[in-house]
Amino acid sequence: MTPPEPEKKTFAFSTMIVLAVVLVVILLTCVPYLATIVSAQTPAESTAAHASPIFGVTIPAGYKQWELIAPAEEAAPLDELRAVVGNQTAIDAYQAGKLPFPDGTVLVKRAWKRKQSPEFASATIPGAATTVQVMVKDSKKYASTGGWGFGRFINGKPVDEAQHRTCWGCHEARAKSHDYVFTRLAP
Ligand code: HEC
């Protein structure tokens, strides 16, 4: 006689139910996370959120390591220290005195609040970062704005469209003789 047979079956059946429930719980827990990861990694979406209106310009990777073209200072009320840096295409064009700047030129203006050095009263040092401004040369894509695409960013996010409408007007009116770029290579 083999009486424990039905008991075994019940045991196997309940184990399967427990396993199935655990599996469903795991799946339900993971799906939202997976969805978040997948959507965050979609390059088109994340780029669009960080691109400037009108021009679609983004903050270029590695710009903090780029070479200095010139520093600048802005009087009150902005009271800022600035540094204009450029990618290799920009630096090569500056050094060769080449105008207009070739396609692929990228210029970045970094800016900080002016701050008095805590160690030395007459020295001025960078305080909090304020804006990052970018100009990208693409003579076809940006044909209607002198070949330049513009982007202004605060805390990594582009400012609104109204501000981006002002860029071209001022650069066109004041810096036309130098391919709409104000900054000259610092001696
Ligand atoms: C009212 C005038 C004016 C407006 C508007 C303006 N700029 Fe400029 N920009 C300047 C001046 C002047 C400089 C020279 C550096 C400095 O003084 O900070 C400059 C410099 C720059 C530079 C460094 C290259 C260069 O031309 O010297 C970038 C990049 C830049 N601006 C981006 C922008 C962007 C992006 C906008 C719009 C969101 C913008 N600018 C709007 C006046 C202006």
Q: How confident is the model at residue 19 (pLDDT cuts 50, 70, 90)?
A: confident
Percent of the chain with pLDDT over 70: 81
Please tell me which of 4-8, 38-42, 133-137 the model is most confident about, judged by mean pLDDT: 133-137
Query: How many secondary structure helices (H) and strands (E) does the chain include?
Result: 4, 6
Averaged pLDDT score across all residues of the chain: 88
pLDDT at position 7: 57
Cα separation of the two ends of the chain: 103
Q: How confident is the model at residue 46 (pLDDT cuts 50, 70, 90)?
A: low
In degrees and rounded to multiples of 5, residue 60 shows phi and psi of -70, 140
Q: Which of 45, 42, 90 is nearest to 63 (CA)?
A: 90
Distance 181 CA to ligand 1 centre (A): 8
pLDDT at position 10: 60
Q: Which residues line the pocket of ligand 1, CB cutoff 6 A? A: 72, 74, 82, 84, 107, 109, 133-135, 150-152, 163-164, 166-167, 170-171, 175, 181-183
> pLDDT tens digits, residue range 149-159?
999 999 999 99
Question: Closest residue (by CA) to atom 13 of ligand 1?
Answer: 182
> pLDDT tens digits, residue range 105-122?
999 999 999 999 999 999
CATH topology of domain 63-178: Chalcone isomerase (3.50.70)
Q: What are the sequence ranges of the domains in the chain?
A: 5-41, 63-178
Distance 167 CA to ligand 1 centre (A): 7
